[in-house]
């Protein structure tokens, strides 16, 4: 009996290893979250959506001919989220960070384009295979794992991942007091045919503010989700959206490579949030953000993480819609 069970487990593992990496990523994220959870994403499961407008600067059109970067304001739908696939993750939990922001622009011609960013400047690994290796190392590193544990071994050979997990990420006072970073590069082309690679940087007009230390232990598990609608009742919450431009030798296909802060920032415009979406949880279930949903004037880099994201999102989306 034990031998038969062992053979069955081995066969299951072998079958999993033959699946596409993006499917294995979704499966492992679900496993780490002790899911699946009906109707929720495999990662960044807990969130809240708001609506508003994006108004471009005059400078934006000099960077890209994309329609939402010209003269007129564009309606937007924004989703803020906690990390992990746990939909009941307390908002102040260390594992809830980095938080996410996804911005959907409703273009004048009826099309759509999205920005997907996180509240940390950089990514722990440079390709989907290493990301799967990181997740599998976490999954194999329970309290009874021999030392050095699989995650200790992984972090010992992946300095960007070590920095990612050891860098302090204070709980924010509000989603609207977080800075967000696009870890993937895009190529921006203007009407003259001039192109520059850059990464998004989304900065709160209210400034970055963390939850005071004395409030961490007593914070409501849903304080971020409750704070946003209350804040928006009092007026708009605004962000400035920038693009950090790469210089000649800056890596554009490696999300672990953080560019120096002295790189030029081009201000694209102002994101103004006005109200929370009614029945946000139901609305979140039916929307899939896609960083490769791009208009003319913006094209992707060859970053392997960027190119893998839509396929992983689609798998997660199909599962939650089918539940």
Over its length of 323 residues, how does the chain's per-residue pLDDT go in tens digits?
A: 545 444 343 456 677 889 999 999 999 999 999 999 999 999 999 999 999 999 999 999 999 999 999 989 999 999 999 999 999 999 999 999 999 999 999 999 899 999 999 999 999 999 999 999 999 999 999 888 899 999 999 999 999 999 999 999 999 999 999 999 999 999 999 999 999 999 999 999 999 999 999 999 899 999 999 999 999 999 999 999 999 999 999 999 999 999 999 999 999 999 999 999 998 988 999 999 999 999 999 999 999 999 999 999 999 999 998 76
Can you give the pTM of this predicted structure? 0.94
The domains of the chain are located at: 2-322
What is the separation of C-alpha 50 from the centre of its chain, rounded to a whole number of angstroms?
A: 16
Q: Class of the 2-322 domain?
A: mainly beta
Q: Find all residues with CB under 8 Å of 275, minimum gap 6, and list them.
A: 50, 51, 52, 232
Residues paired with 79 in a beta bridge: 49, 102
- Rg, C-alpha atoms of the chain: 20
Is there a contact between 131 and 262 (Cβ–Cβ < 8 Å)? no
Query: For residue 282, which phi and psi values (nearest 5 degrees)?
Result: -70, -40
3-class DSSP state of 138: helix
Q: Find all residues with CB under 8 Å of 200, minimum gap 6, and list them.
A: 115, 117, 180, 181, 182, 186, 241, 242, 243, 244
Q: What is 168-186 written as a DSSP string?
A: --PPBS-GGG--EE--S-E
Q: How many CA atoms are closer than 13 Å to the CA of 287, on its beta-carbon side?
A: 22
Q: How many CA atoms are closer than 13 Å to the CA of 39, on its beta-carbon side?
A: 9
The closest of 197, 135, 184, 199 to 308, measured between CA atoms, is: 184
């Amino acid at each position: 009996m034990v031998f038969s069970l062992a053979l069955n487990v081995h066969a299951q593992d072998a079958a999993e290893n033959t699946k596409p990496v993006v499917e294995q990523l979704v499966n492992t994220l679900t496993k780490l979250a002790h899911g699946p959870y009906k109707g929720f994403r495999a990662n960044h499961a807990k969130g809240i959506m708001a609506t508003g407008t994006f108004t471009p600067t005059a400078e934006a059109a000099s960077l890209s001919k994309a329609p939402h970067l010209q003269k007129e304001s564009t309606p937007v739908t924004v989703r803020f989220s906690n990390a992990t696939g746990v939909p009941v993750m307390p908002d102040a939990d260390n594992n809830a960070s980095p938080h996410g922001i996804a911005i959907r622009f409703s273009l004048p011609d009826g099309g759509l384009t999205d920005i997907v960013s996180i509240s940390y400047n950089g990514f722990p690994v440079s390709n989907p295979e290493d990301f799967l290796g990181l997740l599998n190392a976490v999954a194999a590193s329970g309290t009874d794992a021999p030392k050095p544990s699989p995650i200790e071994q992984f972090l010992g050979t992946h300095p960007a991942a070590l920095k990612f997990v050891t860098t302090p990420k204070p709980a924010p006072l509000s989603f609207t007091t977080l800075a967000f970073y696009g870890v993937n590069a895009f190529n921006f082309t203007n009407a003259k045919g001039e192109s520059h690679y850059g990464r998004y940087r989304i900065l709160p007009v209210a400034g970055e503010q963390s939850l005071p230390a004395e409030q961490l232990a007593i914070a409501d598990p849903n304080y971020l989700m409750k704070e946003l609608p209350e804040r928006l009742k009092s007026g708009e919450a605004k962000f400035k959206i920038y693009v950090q431009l790469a210089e000649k030798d800056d890596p554009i296909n490696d999300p672990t490579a953080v560019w120096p802060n002295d790189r030029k920032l081009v201000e694209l415009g102002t994101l103004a949030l006005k109200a929370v979406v009614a029945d946000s949880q139901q609305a979140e279930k039916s929307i899939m953000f896609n960083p490769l949903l791009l208009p003319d004037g913006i094209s992707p880099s060859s970053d392997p993480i960027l190119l893998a994201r839509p396929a992983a999102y689609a798998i997660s989306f199909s599962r939650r819609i089918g539940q």
